[in-house]
Structure 1
Amino acid sequence: MQAPISSLRAAAVGHLSAGRAPQALAAYQALLASAPGEPDDWYNLAFLQRQAREFAAALASYGRALELGVGSPEEVHLNRAVILAEDLRRADDAMAELRRSLHLAPGYVPALVNLGNLHEQRGERDEARACYERVLAVEPGQALALSRLVNLRSFRDADDPLIQRLRQALSQPTLHPVDRADLAHALGKALDDAKAYDDAFAAYVHANQASRVSYGRQPLRYDRDGHERLVDALIRQSLQPAPVPAGADPAPAVFICGMFRSGSTLIEQILGSHPGVTAGGEIDLLPALAGQHLLPLLRQADRPLPAPLAQELRRTYRDGVAVRFPGAGLLTDKRPDNFLFIGLIKQLFPDAKILHTRRSVLDNCLSVFFLHLGPTMPYALDLEDIAHWYRQYRRLMDHWKALFGDDIHDVDYDALVADPRPQIEAALAHCGLPWDEACLNFHASKSLVATPSNWQVRQPLYQRSSGRWRHYERHLGALRAALGAFADDSANTSG
């Protein structure tokens, strides 16, 4: 006997409200099989399907909600745009959805911000600026749009009017910590451009203090002991017997990883200019698979990866990149923190090639401190925590190199910007690719770049970021002490 519609809906809403996503997904599917005419139910199903990485199904469900006359259709078009841009890398289709959203609601700020961001990722500076100015015409104090304007230009004078607008916005006592963090990071960038280094450092400290209290009731905290235990467990698990796939196809991607802000976007942009390469950007598949399947093994006496599970994960990864990049030749999967999962990569794809980006230690750590990262990376909010993360990263990379040395190639950022061709030739050779002159003209590429390095990699190579730490040396005593001997690796970078 079929349950009443009211009971099916109550079950679906209950699971959704309680955060039980798998049960909520099944409940909404059962509800809509019986009563397919309620647009809000299709909207909620689409939300859950995206969480479950069922992207095509989510787009279809959002489409059905639109057909049935869902309220606030501009929001639905925005949600479709986010799936198309972030999950499926279909930038043109995402742009069309955002324009549909704005046709329905010309002053809809979330769509304007996302449209500006997409223009930035495409390297369309003037169009991005116009979007953010439209936001500020609707909401003059909108923090994200104001902070994004800073990314679109350089600053020579600490008294620049836009810097004054940032200071004025930051002076508001009721400013939400999320907005305060956005604005203070932007102020730090502008003051750094203007060579007001002490004021820039103070702005970045302010930004990170705001970030610490931006996400929920409890301040973010980096668990040093917990991270050391994770690295220990990753090392132990990698020494377990690994399943060897029979007759496996070659790895579907070259994996680019390292510390954040170590040059990974730059080397991907260079390689992506080669006619034989498709730049994949920060693909989230591997961390998702690791979180769902590898990390539970680490909590169970570091069990080996069972062969059937390894086969399933290989298939899931291949299918996932095929959906996003149909017909791609050699793909790059550039996600810096995939260095944590090199062991998993090699268990799934024994022939996988790794490009490991490195940079002067002090420059790298300082640049992480200056970057507005999310709540999953609380180490980035404190220079001594960054030093601890860095030391653990080096410990883990030393282990991976001992196991897979021939398949891991270091790309040195400082050497790359000083004398690019030898570094590029070596990286191409590691990937099995011949030299191509287009790699030296990477900054002219029209590819989508969805990382904070977007505007830097659209310029010819420059060396001004090498030795940048010297401008902030008076503030780096604690960082140097926490890094120990690693701090000496920065001594020979150019200033």
Structure 2
Amino acid sequence: MASRAAGRAEDAERLELAAIDASIANPVLIEAGAALVANDLRTAERLLRPHLRDDPFDVAAIRMMAELAGRLARYRDAEALLRRALELAPGFRPARSNLATVLHRQNRSAEALAELDTLLADDPANPTHENLKAAALGRIGEFDEAIELYESVLEKAPDQPKIWMSYGHVLKTVGRQPDSIAAYRRAIAIRPGLGEVWWSLANLKTVKFSDDDVAAMRAALDGAGLSDDDRLHLHFALGKALEDRGEAEPSFRHYAQGNAIRRRQLPYDPADTDAQVARAEAIFTPEFFAARAGWGCPAPDPIFILGMPRAGSTLIEQILASHSQVEGTMELPDIPALAARIGSGDTPIDKLTAAEVRALGEEYLDRTRIQRKTGRPLFIDKLPNNWMHVGLIRLILPNATIVDARRHPLASCFSNFKQHFARGQSFTYGLEDVGRYYAAYVRLMAHFDRVQPGAVHRVIYERLVDDTEREIRALLDALGLPFEESCLRFWETERAVRTASSEQVRRPINREGLEPWKPFDPWLAPLRTALGDVLDVYPNSPPF
């Protein structure tokens, strides 16, 4: 520190890194490191905490504690620790690399990219940093640069199946399906038991697996040492392969097995969702909104498409993104992030001032600006789970448009049950859970229909399929947009699509997705029971 204060940065860095090297040889840190490798987090914490109490300037130990926090998804704690490590030793590249990863996991891709550019300036051909930078670029929609980086990494490390898989993901997103399939196949050739690649192929919804593919997946499932993640992905992929062959019973069995593994990994309590809905109903009353008329950021830019996943939201997004005044982006994490901050803060939402409410709306626009590439006046936020935050959206962005994408309860819920999501959506891994979640969603949307009539425009998927032009015209009217013929020919619009429906919306509307649940009806009794009268009165809402 004295050398750095005296302006001798090179000497300071040399001394700091030498101290880190010496610290790593400490028997306590060696034991803590072994515990982290074994994922024995309790032992690692038991060793690290007293060590850091005795020596709070041990940068290596600080980084290990950050690793522990990251494993527990305590990313803010991990970030604070890593920033402290870099404050003490700015040249400690492993800590900077970890910080970039933690920022990326918090969806702060621009900040992650700044750290990665610093790392790559010193080590321009580092494939680990290039790989993470490619992922961060993909997160903010810079797909061409991401593809170039993946190709650079694969040229240097061609036997890395997960990088081939990531490369396949971004190729799929930009519509290069044959190249995407080739990348996935290359990953499988390197590591046949990598379940996520098999699921990535299945998730294209256009690949029909051969007998050899099915045999290879079954062989992988029978192999020794398969991780739970590989196993669940293989079950979902085999479920899709057998569904395409009309073999409903074994298909459902594989879907159920994959869901059971994932449900153990992501515990979900439907009562929590019911409680959130009840709180929203209690807070967001006509009187609440009347007392706050004129509050919020007046910008009309965002179009929120929300509802259940697998309910046609990507189709609606593709239709609207075909309009000259609307830009499609992705499922943005920013509204849930703002909601979480309010929920964990000292001021509940009903105690926010007018200035605070407006600032939240402006912050949302600032956070999402990095996703806007075209200069079009309106943009889409397509995160389905935002249905839980309609009250917050109406408060902070009163002139934004909200579109509720709704699909038949059995079609929507079973499509969720057989869909493995890359992250979140923990309610989808049990038939009763997904049914109760759908019912909670309908209940809250019905509440806002009563509290703020006309604030939410609803698109019923089956009506969109049956009379596409009428429904598109009604949708554009709700947004105050003139009709454009390109919206009818949405599949011709070339744009990145980052959801499970990416390949489906690159084709004209068809009736294939209307009743996917019917072959599986003998096993759907728990779903029917959970849905209750929500199923009976669809597309209307029951009296809650």
TM-score w.r.t. structure 2 length? 0.82
Identify the residue that residue 369 of structure 2 maps to in structure 1: 322
8 Å CA contact retained: 1:39, 1:69: no
Q: Number of aligned pairs?
A: 482
Give 3-state SS (helix, strand or coil) of 2:483's partner. coil
Q: CA deviation at 1:31?
A: 5.2
Identify the residue that residue 99 of structure 2 maps to in structure 1: 45
1:305-360 C-alpha deviation (Å, 9 max, x unpaired): 33343233222211122222142321011111100000000100112211111111
- Partners in 1 of 2:296 and 2:410 — Cα distance? 45
Residue type of the partner of 2:335? L
Give 3-state SS (helix, strand or coil) of 1:182's partner. helix
Q: 2:149 aligned with 1:97, yes or no? A: yes
The equivalences for 1:159-174 within 5 A come to 160-174=211-225
Which of 268, 287, 299 pairs up with 1:222?
Answer: 268
- Provide closer, same or farther for how the CA distance between residues 329 and 474 of structure 1 changes in structure 2, counting only shifts above 3 A: same
8 Å CA contact retained: 1:255, 1:334: yes
- Provide closer, same or farther for how the CA distance between residues 26 and 366 of structure 1 changes in structure 2, counting only shifts above 3 A: closer
Give 3-state SS (helix, strand or coil) of 1:279's partner. strand
- Partners in 1 of 2:539 and 2:478 — Cα distance? 28
Q: 2:114 aligned with 1:67, yes or no? A: no
The equivalences for 1:33-432 within 5 A come to 35-51=89-105, 54-69=108-123, 73-86=126-139, 88-152=140-204, 154=206, 160-213=211-264, 215=265, 220-239=266-285, 240=288, 243-244=292-293, 248-293=297-342, 295-296=343-344, 303-326=350-373, 327-373=375-421, 376-432=424-480
- Partners in 2 of 1:253 and 1:117 — Cα distance? 27
Q: Percent identical across equivalent pairs?
A: 31
- Partners in 2 of 1:52 and 1:156 — Cα distance? 36
- Partners in 1 of 2:78 and 2:531 — Cα distance? 47
- Provide closer, same or farther for how the CA distance between residues 23 and 479 of structure 1 changes in structure 2, counting only shifts above 3 A: closer
Q: CA deviation at 1:205?
A: 0.8
- Partners in 2 of 1:14 and 1:146 — Cα distance? 34
8 Å CA contact retained: 2:295, 2:354: no
- Partners in 2 of 1:33 and 1:89 — Cα distance? 31
Give 3-state SS (helix, strand or coil) of 1:430's partner. helix
- Partners in 1 of 2:151 and 2:106 — Cα distance? 27
Q: Larger Cα Rg: Structure 1 or Structure 2?
A: 2
- Partners in 1 of 2:88 and 2:433 — Cα distance? 53
- Structure 1 runs, 4 residues or longer, greater than 6 Å off: 1-4, 299-302
Alignment RMSD: 2.8
1:393-414 C-alpha deviation (Å, 9 max, x unpaired): 1111111111222121110111
Give 3-state SS (helix, strand or coil) of 1:280's partner. strand
> Where does the alignment leave 5 or more consecutive residues of structure 1 unmatched?
none
- Provide closer, same or farther for how the CA distance between residues 371 and 28 of structure 1 changes in structure 2, counting only shifts above 3 A: closer
Identify the residue that residue 37 of structure 2 maps to in structure 1: none
- Partners in 2 of 1:110 and 1:170 — Cα distance? 19
- Partners in 1 of 2:93 and 2:64 — Cα distance? 18
1:415-453 C-alpha deviation (Å, 9 max, x unpaired): 111220001111111111111111121112221111111
8 Å CA contact retained: 1:270, 1:442: yes
- Provide closer, same or farther for how the CA distance between residues 140 and 247 of structure 1 changes in structure 2, counting only shifts above 3 A: closer
Tell me which moved more, 321-330 or 435-444. Answer: 321-330
Identify the residue that residue 497 of structure 2 maps to in structure 1: 449
8 Å CA contact retained: 1:363, 1:490: no
- Provide closer, same or farther for how the CA distance between residues 23 and 354 of structure 1 changes in structure 2, counting only shifts above 3 A: closer
Residue type of the partner of 2:328? A
> Where does the alignment leave 5 or more consecutive residues of structure 2 unmatched?
6-14, 20-56
The equivalences for 1:473-484 within 5 A come to 473-484=521-532
8 Å CA contact retained: 2:296, 2:354: no
Identify the residue that residue 13 of structure 1 maps to in structure 2: 63
Q: CA deviation at 1:245?
A: 5.2
Q: CA deviation at 1:156?
A: 7.1
Q: CA deviation at 1:34?
A: 6.3
1:212-232 C-alpha deviation (Å, 9 max, x unpaired): 23x3xxxx3321222211111
Residue type of the partner of 1:109? P
- Partners in 1 of 2:230 and 2:78 — Cα distance? 32
Residue type of the partner of 1:125? Q
- Provide closer, same or farther for how the CA distance between residues 51 and 197 of structure 1 changes in structure 2, counting only shifts above 3 A: closer
